[in-house]
């Protein structure tokens, strides 16, 4: 049986477009080098340009590379400090017809770029492509193939779909000119990728290749693992920005469940209980409210609950 992901790569092997990859980074030198090496090792016939954007740190010029068809440039984040500003700095500094993101602690797996660009070439009506992922939580690896073949605004509102990770994003620059850059107003840059996907889905078709083509590192390296107040503010920002959440009880409950958990982690028990009450009114089957209640009751810590979830390849 043919693998559609591999077939797409073969179909797009001729006249492969130039690809610009943006890596926004901060204080992860060893992981960053691994991310860059994995991108440069991609067997892709077109040119690959990597823009490494250093956020609130000095650029490491030793990373610069200028080989035929493979270049690495380093630069300072000249926009809003944080991940969204870093990504936008890289986007505006590059020229490839195809754009891609990679987090500085993740690694592309062999075949990723060829499969995604090949799919875009074979399907001109598709503007954006994601893949499945492999979650690496402190050495424990969990395959997460994409559960769907396409993302829509409605499906994204109902389920963030962890597999559609920003390190898997490959999209047409022409589409970006329509739906806009990464939102730099989101508190702390949290959920900027979620917002980006929703806006991209409003603009055009998002295809999801099932194959896990990216290794995603979860754990103590994540800047958002314990930034609870940022999570509260960002999720409330998303609810206000995208009215679709209010229109779907289950989706609204999921967002408030995440807020409840973050408030519980902060020790703001009364506010957490209010959010849990909202979840119960909207969708009592939402799985996050019992976890938030346990943390609010101080039976377990938020960090321990998050660790349990990550060990099974899940998030909260």
Question: Please, what CATH class does the domain formed by 4-218 belong to?
Answer: alpha beta
Cα–Cα distance, 134 to 132 (Å, whole number): 7
Three-state secondary structure of 274-287: HHHHHHHHHCCCCC
- Name the helix (H) or strand (E) containing 70: strand 70-76
Cα–Cα distance, 166 to 163 (Å, whole number): 9
CA distance from start to end of the chain: 36
Q: Are 162 and 128 in contact (CB under 8 A)?
A: no
Q: Are 200 and 206 in contact (CB under 8 A)?
A: yes
Cα–Cα distance, 271 to 308 (Å, whole number): 24
DSSP 143-206: EE--S-SEE-HHHHHH---TTS-GGG-EEEHHHHHHH-S--S-SGGGTTHHHHHHHHHHHHSEE
Bridge partners of 135?
142, 216
What's residue 2's pLDDT?
42
- The low-confidence residues of the chain, meaning pLDDT below 50, are 1-2, 6-14, 221, 223
Cα–Cα distance, 32 to 121 (Å, whole number): 29
Where, residue-wise, is CATH 3.90.550.10 in the chain?
4-218
DSSP 11-46: HT-TTPPPEEEEEEESS-HHHHHHHHHHHHT---SS
pTM equals 0.90
What's residue 3's pLDDT?
54
pLDDT in tens, 242-267: 999 999 999 999 999 999 999 999 99
Considering only CA atoms, give the Rg of the chain: 19
3-state secondary structure of 110: coil
């Amino acid at each position: 049986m043919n693998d559609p992901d591999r077939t797409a790569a073969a179909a797009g092997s001729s006249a492969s477009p130039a690809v610009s990859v943006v890596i926004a980074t901060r204080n992860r030198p060893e992981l960053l080098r691994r991310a860059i090496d994995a991108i440069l090792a991609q067997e892709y016939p077109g040119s690959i340009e990597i823009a490494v954007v250093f956020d609130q740190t000095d650029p490491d010029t030793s990373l610069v590379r200028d080989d035929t068809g493979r270049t690495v440039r380093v630069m300072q984040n000249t926009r809003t400090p944080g991940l969204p500003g870093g990504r936008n700095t890289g986007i505006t500094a590059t020229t490839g017809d195809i754009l891609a993101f990679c987090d500085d602690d993740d690694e592309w797996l062999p075949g990723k770029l060829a499969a995604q660009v090949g799919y875009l070439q074979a399907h001109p009506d598709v503007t954006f492509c994601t893949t499945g992922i492999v979650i690496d939580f402190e050495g424990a690896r969990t395959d997460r193939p994409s559960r769907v073949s396409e993302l829509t605004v409605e499906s994204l509102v109902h389920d963030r779909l962890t597999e559609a990770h920003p390190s898997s994003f490959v999209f047409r620059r022409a589409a970006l000119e329509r739906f806009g850059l990464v939102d730099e107003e989101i508190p702390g840059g949290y959920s900027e990728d979620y917002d980006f996907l929703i806006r991209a889905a409003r603009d055009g078709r998002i295809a999801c290749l099932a194959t896990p083509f990216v290794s995603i590192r979860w754990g103590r390296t994540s800047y958002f693992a314990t930034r609870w107040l940022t999570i509260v503010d960002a999720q409330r920002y998303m609810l206000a920005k995208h009215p679709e959440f209010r229109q779907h009880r289950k989706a609204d409950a999921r967002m408030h469940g995440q807020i409840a958990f973050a408030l519980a982690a902060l020790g703001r028990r009364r506010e957490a209980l209010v959010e849990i009450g909202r979840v119960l009114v909207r969708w009592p089957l939402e799985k996050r409210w019992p976890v938030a209640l346990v943390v609010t009751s101080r039976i377990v810590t938020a960090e321990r609950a998050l660790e349990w979830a990550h060990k099974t390849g899940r998030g909260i």
